[in-house]
Chain A
């Protein structure tokens, strides 16, 4: 795996292998000394053009647990909105020795462009590009679902997963639909028609406007964050109406089967797409998602570095 740009880059075998690798590496996180020497002397650049403290810290922790050196570049979208900056910044980071660039950018396709232009030869990991994809988020979601509902083994065959909310603008939804279906799950999207893209019918999933109906046989429910700017752009009449139709309220949570889990990529709008009680309930696995994010990103960095040059198995075999 030279780059990770889209969940579509992963076939069934490579997706399962990544999850297995993440499980193997997660053991490190339970130890007192949370460090493997695997990527000692190698350099990773975190290139964050959008604010995302969580994702950036997660990649940083993953890199450090593998003993890599981390260079971090952050800039708010508005101050570095010109395209030249993406190219120049990537050139700068590569000149500083970065072999792998983790990029978060507001433009869909920014990671693909970095990987496929002739600007740099570094490997690229997509940490979220515009309204396109966020493949490591999908991996950590799949990992979390597998851990809770499949004892951490194999794939997600026959699991019914419901994704709810602003699908139109969600890179989390796009990556999850692709990855979860690759892993054998049945995915259903629930959203108001204004927040579903034209052309969704070609996606490997079902779409419904009836949240209650979708809940009945769901094994996992993933709530998407509704961005504040959507609320004022007439995608739906009011926060209240949205919450009533598409929020995971206490009443709806009672429709879920006993074993069903609730995911959210965070940060949550409590009382909007998810009630506070549901967010804090035992079926909520939001905190697990964060922890698993580090393991999954360790696995991705391991694979990407491995594709560039042989990594010594030192520290892997005996964890």
Chain B
């Protein structure tokens, strides 16, 4: 473990003028402009030269699949946390669709403790909304909220809470402890056997279609339910123009809704299904170029609040097969920041959908921490006295994705051979480096 007294020199917080930042005992102790600090010596301090680098609050992922317990062949909490740290994350929310399902205080506490034990990244378990993700009766939400794991986000992710009455009850029930229901919006009957976005391409490829309306109809229903019972809704991985428009309408109406988009829905389109290679198979499916443009605009104007990875590791055999036999999902933790910079900063398509470093920090750290209820420790301002959960990004050091070199146990990245425009120089959790010079420390 690295020392607890660290100085990062010449780093630009959120792209502002360079500073020296001194970290001691897990917190930011001093901030000095680089000029004023020159000549200052910090005895015994470990020094990182941040020349040319950007300093951001440590990234926070609201949507990660760590697979443990149950599928430790695909990922473990430890390997997932390694990938998270290398991707610049200091906190991840671990989805509940494990085996056993995270639907009791016992399971969420285990996940939370295993996360703490890694020392690389805070793991905040997401609790299941319904017992066994079966969509039949509520899990013991209050027990999960009040246990050591302190759960605030509840989701049946992978499965939609499609029963309107159950969804209403869940939205109402979590008001007691300020929780939020994160809905996987997928009308089940409209997507039976569905394999890819429904449209001209699915008709040509003969793959059963996954219509936009299956997502949009659930989002429309849920924002109205949230309004009716005056509760808080979070929409997972929205992927269509229609979904963006519904959320925009709901926010204008004052409904308490937040939404996320994945990096892959910001950059990849359904055309990749032409390869019939299930490395591109994901839920919700990749959509059209028009949808990609819409989610970028939505992310830029704040309709979509955050980027969440939906990091979904799968073993090789689950992707090395025909399309319909392939599993849904792709890796995301180590490539998320690069994709966001590429799509929202370097090549946003339209100037109205461009983000600066502050905008990226908001959408990948500050707001996800707030939605997840972990804003006391994560997504904090870079200021004296604040917890030192930070990431140093080198915008001048591109890298090429090689699945064999990712930290995940699985290799199912759709970005093989693609160049990521920025790299993570260092990640710091509570004043200790988890990553230095691009390597786990």
List the interface of chain A (C-beta within 8 A of B).
81-84, 86-87, 105-110, 112-113, 116-117, 129-133, 171, 174, 197-203
Query: Quick check: is B417 within 8 A (CB to CB) of the other chain?
Result: no
Bound together, the chains give a CA A42 to CA B81 distance in angstroms of: 53
Beyond A108-B324, A113-B277, whether A130 also contacts B206 by CB under 8 A is: yes
Bound together, the chains give a CA A116 to CA B323 distance in angstroms of: 13
Query: Quick check: is B289 within 8 A (CB to CB) of the other chain?
Result: no
**Whose C-beta in chain B lies nearest to the C-beta of A112?**
B276
Query: Quick check: is B404 within 8 A (CB to CB) of the other chain?
Result: no
Q: Hey, which chain B residues are within 8 Å of A84, CB to CB?
A: 317, 320-321
Number of A-B contacts (CB under 8 A): 91
Query: Quick check: is B44 within 8 A (CB to CB) of the other chain?
Result: no
Query: Quick check: is B135 within 8 A (CB to CB) of the other chain?
Result: no
Query: Quick check: is B176 within 8 A (CB to CB) of the other chain?
Result: no
Bound together, the chains give a CA A84 to CA B275 distance in angstroms of: 18
Bound together, the chains give a CA A201 to CA B206 distance in angstroms of: 15
Bound together, the chains give a CA A143 to CA B331 distance in angstroms of: 48
Q: Distance in Å from the Cβ of A277 to the closest Cβ of chain B? A: 33
Inter-subunit contact B201/A199 (CB<8 Å): yes
**Whose C-beta in chain A lies nearest to the C-beta of B202?**
A199
Residue of A86, A109, A200, A202 touching B207 (CB-CB under 8 A)? A109
Residue of B200, B207, B211 touching A201 (CB-CB under 8 A)? B200
Most chain B CB within 10 A, of A109, A110, A129, is at A109
Bound together, the chains give a CA A200 to CA B198 distance in angstroms of: 11
Bound together, the chains give a CA A84 to CA B202 distance in angstroms of: 24
Q: Hey, which chain B residues are within 8 Å of A132, CB to CB?
A: 205-207
B268-289 contacts to A, CB under 8 A, are: 275-278
B166-216 contacts to A, CB under 8 A, are: 195, 198-209, 211
Residue of B204, B275, B276, B320 touching A87 (CB-CB under 8 A)? B320
Q: Distance in Å from the Cβ of B314 to the closest Cβ of chain A? A: 12
**Whose C-beta in chain B lies nearest to the C-beta of A115?**
B276
Bound together, the chains give a CA A100 to CA B116 distance in angstroms of: 55
Kindly state the interface size class of chain B when it binds its partner.
Answer: 20 to 34
Q: Distance in Å from the Cβ of A47 to the closest Cβ of chain B? A: 12
Query: Quick check: is B313 within 8 A (CB to CB) of the other chain?
Result: no
Inter-subunit contact A198/B211 (CB<8 Å): yes
Inter-subunit contact A82/B325 (CB<8 Å): yes
Inter-subunit contact A171/B206 (CB<8 Å): yes
Bound together, the chains give a CA A248 to CA B233 distance in angstroms of: 53
Query: Quick check: is B326 within 8 A (CB to CB) of the other chain?
Result: yes
Q: Distance in Å from the Cβ of B416 to the closest Cβ of chain A? A: 13
Bound together, the chains give a CA A131 to CA B198 distance in angstroms of: 14
Q: Distance in Å from the Cβ of A287 to the closest Cβ of chain B? A: 28
Inter-subunit contact A105/B322 (CB<8 Å): yes
Bound together, the chains give a CA A87 to CA B320 distance in angstroms of: 8
Q: Hey, which chain A residues are within 8 Å of B208, CB to CB?
A: 131
Bound together, the chains give a CA A95 to CA B61 distance in angstroms of: 46
Bound together, the chains give a CA A133 to CA B203 distance in angstroms of: 11
Residue of A81, A116, A202 touching B325 (CB-CB under 8 A)? A81
**Whose C-beta in chain A lies nearest to the C-beta of B326?**
A83
Q: Distance in Å from the Cβ of B300 to the closest Cβ of chain A? A: 29
Inter-subunit contact A109/B322 (CB<8 Å): yes
Bound together, the chains give a CA A198 to CA B209 distance in angstroms of: 8
17 contacts between A and B (CB under 8 A): A84-B317, A86-B321, A108-B324, A109-B207, A109-B323, A109-B324, A112-B275, A112-B276, A131-B207, A132-B207, A174-B204, A197-B202, A198-B203, A199-B204, A199-B209, A200-B203, A203-B203
Q: Hey, which chain B residues are within 8 Å of A201, CB to CB?
A: 200
Q: Distance in Å from the Cβ of B316 to the closest Cβ of chain A? A: 10
Inter-subunit contact B326/A198 (CB<8 Å): no
Q: Hey, which chain B residues are within 8 Å of A106, CB to CB?
A: 324
Inter-subunit contact A83/B206 (CB<8 Å): no
Bound together, the chains give a CA A115 to CA B325 distance in angstroms of: 17
Inter-subunit contact B199/A198 (CB<8 Å): yes
Q: Hey, which chain B residues are within 8 Å of A131, CB to CB?
A: 206-208
Q: Distance in Å from the Cβ of B414 to the closest Cβ of chain A? A: 16
Bound together, the chains give a CA A170 to CA B202 distance in angstroms of: 13
Q: Hey, which chain A residues are within 8 Å of B275, CB to CB?
A: 112, 116
Inter-subunit contact B199/A199 (CB<8 Å): yes
**Whose C-beta in chain A lies nearest to the C-beta of B323?**
A109
Q: Distance in Å from the Cβ of B400 to the closest Cβ of chain A? A: 20
10 interchain residue pairs of minimum CB distance: A83-B321, A132-B206, A109-B276, A83-B325, A199-B200, A199-B203, A197-B203, A108-B206, A107-B324, A107-B322
Inter-subunit contact B323/A197 (CB<8 Å): no
Most chain A CB within 10 A, of B199, B200, B206, B277, is at B206
Inter-subunit contact B200/A130 (CB<8 Å): no
Most chain A CB within 10 A, of B199, B205, B208, is at B205
Inter-subunit contact A83/B277 (CB<8 Å): no
Bound together, the chains give a CA A129 to CA B325 distance in angstroms of: 13
Inter-subunit contact A113/B322 (CB<8 Å): yes
Inter-subunit contact A198/B322 (CB<8 Å): no
Q: Distance in Å from the Cβ of A201 to the closest Cβ of chain B? A: 7
**Whose C-beta in chain A lies nearest to the C-beta of B196?**
A108
Inter-subunit contact A109/B205 (CB<8 Å): yes
Q: Hey, which chain B residues are within 8 Å of A198, CB to CB?
A: 198-199, 202-203, 209, 211
Bound together, the chains give a CA A201 to CA B203 distance in angstroms of: 10
**Whose C-beta in chain A lies nearest to the C-beta of B325?**
A83
Q: Distance in Å from the Cβ of B73 to the closest Cβ of chain A? A: 14
Q: Distance in Å from the Cβ of A4 to the closest Cβ of chain B? A: 16
Bound together, the chains give a CA A87 to CA B326 distance in angstroms of: 13
Bound together, the chains give a CA A132 to CA B201 distance in angstroms of: 11
Inter-subunit contact B199/A174 (CB<8 Å): no
Beyond A81-B325, A129-B206, A132-B205, whether A199 also contacts B317 by CB under 8 A is: no
Q: Distance in Å from the Cβ of B10 to the closest Cβ of chain A? A: 47
Residue of B209, B325, B326 touching A197 (CB-CB under 8 A)? B209
Bound together, the chains give a CA A19 to CA B171 distance in angstroms of: 64
Bound together, the chains give a CA A112 to CA B204 distance in angstroms of: 14
Bound together, the chains give a CA A84 to CA B207 distance in angstroms of: 20
Q: Hey, which chain B residues are within 8 Å of A108, CB to CB?
A: 195, 205-207, 276, 323-324
Q: Hey, which chain A residues are within 8 Å of B276, CB to CB?
A: 108-110, 112-113, 116
